[in-house]
Structure 1
Amino acid sequence: MSKRPRTLDSFFSPPATKRSRQAGGDTSKVANGETTPSQLSNHPTYPFAVPHLPPEITDILNFAPAQEARIINDRPDLDLLYFQPYIPKEIQRPLFDFLRREFFFYKVQYKIKRGPVETQINTPRYTTVFGLDETSIFNDAGEVIDSATGKPPSGKDAYTCKPRPIPECLDMLRRLTENTTGSKFNFALVNYYASGADSISYHSDDEKFLGPDPCIASFTLGAKRDFLLRHKKTPAAHPSESQPMKLPLASGDMVLMRGKTQSCWEHSIPKRKGGEAERGRINITFRRAMTKGGTANYYRYNVGDGGVFKWDGGRGEMVAWKGGETG
């Protein structure tokens, strides 16, 4: 049995292959946001089904990457591939609109304890996550089974969360990214920054469950936002520790963080007032979790126990989903 985690949809959806763009092809349907997806990704853990990408988007997405990557490794321990852009311009807005409209999101709250003090954390963005770590896979019925034994994990090996497969609309991009980078990914995390007030503080994705020197592919769709990177503190006190590098990530851009980047650097998306930041941004990151601890972590901090949110086009904002469709 293959040990590579698969999504439920991968059993009937062929792998994406890079195709040549057709000269004079009609992209008017994409530009006008007219999409006609004919298939759905569904699973018992999904609040509602997620449509596949319409052919008007997939035909052009198969042409990715739109530009070759620029290597950034001129600072200590930094190793980046920067695609400006990765996603072709013609579908950047339609893809953003599709994902914001069709996904279910969460506004996760959790508590952290430092000594005797317990603090309530309200995640300053909308999140959702899909995937499963290397120890398990989804079988043909969409059930989680152990990669080695083919049996459902039980006892101390049972999952405390409810993993769910990556929907086809994201899995196609995951496969393309694997082909481009040579890295393997089994998780897709999606953040929606509704305005410039939404942010993520300095952090490193250096958890043990990602293994040594993890590769993380980070995509931007929608509003341009500053992506700051700074080196962690060292006795040498290199200028990169106090003078952050800024990448102005625009719609369609992708940054692949690899090598010692996660173990030696931190990154953030700071708050921004007014301007383009108010238009909303989607960030998709593909990662590879090696152990069950990774699965538990990702679902705790990106799904949690709160309610589901869905985009309401009429109101132009995320609203609580109560089991029926929003406008």
Structure 2
Amino acid sequence: MAILVTGAAGFIGHYTVKALLDRGEQVIGVDSLNDYYDPALKRARLDNIGENKAFTFVEGDIADGALAALPVTPTGIIHLAAQAGVRYSIDNPRAYAKANLTGHTEVLELARALQVKCVYASSSSVYGGNTKTPFSEEDRTDDPVSFYGATKKSDELLSQSYARLYGLPLVGLRFFTVYGPMGRPDMAYWMFTDKILKGEPIRIFNQGKMGRDFTYVDDIVTGVLAAYDRPLAVPDGMPTHRIYNLGNDNPEELMTLVTTIEDKLGLDAEKIFEPMQQGDVERTWADISRARSELGYDPKTGLEEGLDRFVHWFRDFYNR
């Protein structure tokens, strides 16, 4: 009895593995440890998981056959591996086609062969140019503003087809701006913290007139496990595929993020205000009523508490 977690050395993946191990599960983790950002951080996350006889790690690319050589046959899948990052996708679309399209198809094929449930990561980026807030799972998602968002929407469509064709139980989770200790260096909260500590200016886009539904990683992992554990809730006669928003239902202004980080560091940032970046959106906000009702999802961590934990970890990890 083993659960496969792809992207096990990733930000959300490593916390998910730890949570599964803490409750006594056997886990197979797969990760390519690619160099999109510092692989040393990914290895540090694996070290944070620690030695555990219930955890087996496989280094390999799911789009290049890594799933064909698993040491144990999984009884379920939590698929978190992906090429992340909106801005990187503008210049490197092939990386996203391989990881997010081919990789996702390989995971679906494994789920089909084993006839097991698969919970997978989607993204709030699928809402693209949507201006209605909060974002609901019922909203249209056919106007992506980034190639990354387009691949994540494609993953949902691929999953819908597999559910309809093969009756596979599939759950897609639209994550909203996940943050916390051991997070991703390409995220704004990380870059702001790093640059402020170095005495370097920070770039603030759209003149600071932006908002994000920042969601602390522990709350996200609770939602991931609930989606895996709970029976699939789909309307009668519909394919066995369900989508959920996992956010904080409390969008914060970008400048609130900046001032909170400044307060936690005890430093003022030099700020450079710039226009909106290509591929970005002005605001995200998750309607989480479906996840509350069907998954019991109830995020607990506010931005100030979450950033306090992140800044404490960051200064300790980098001895700064």
Shorter-normalised TM range: under 0.3
The TM-score normalised by the length of structure 2 is: 0.25
- Give the structure with the higher percent strand: 1
- Report the TM-score, using the length of structure 1 for normalisation: 0.25
Structure with the bigger RCO (C-alpha within 8 Å, sep 6+) is: 1
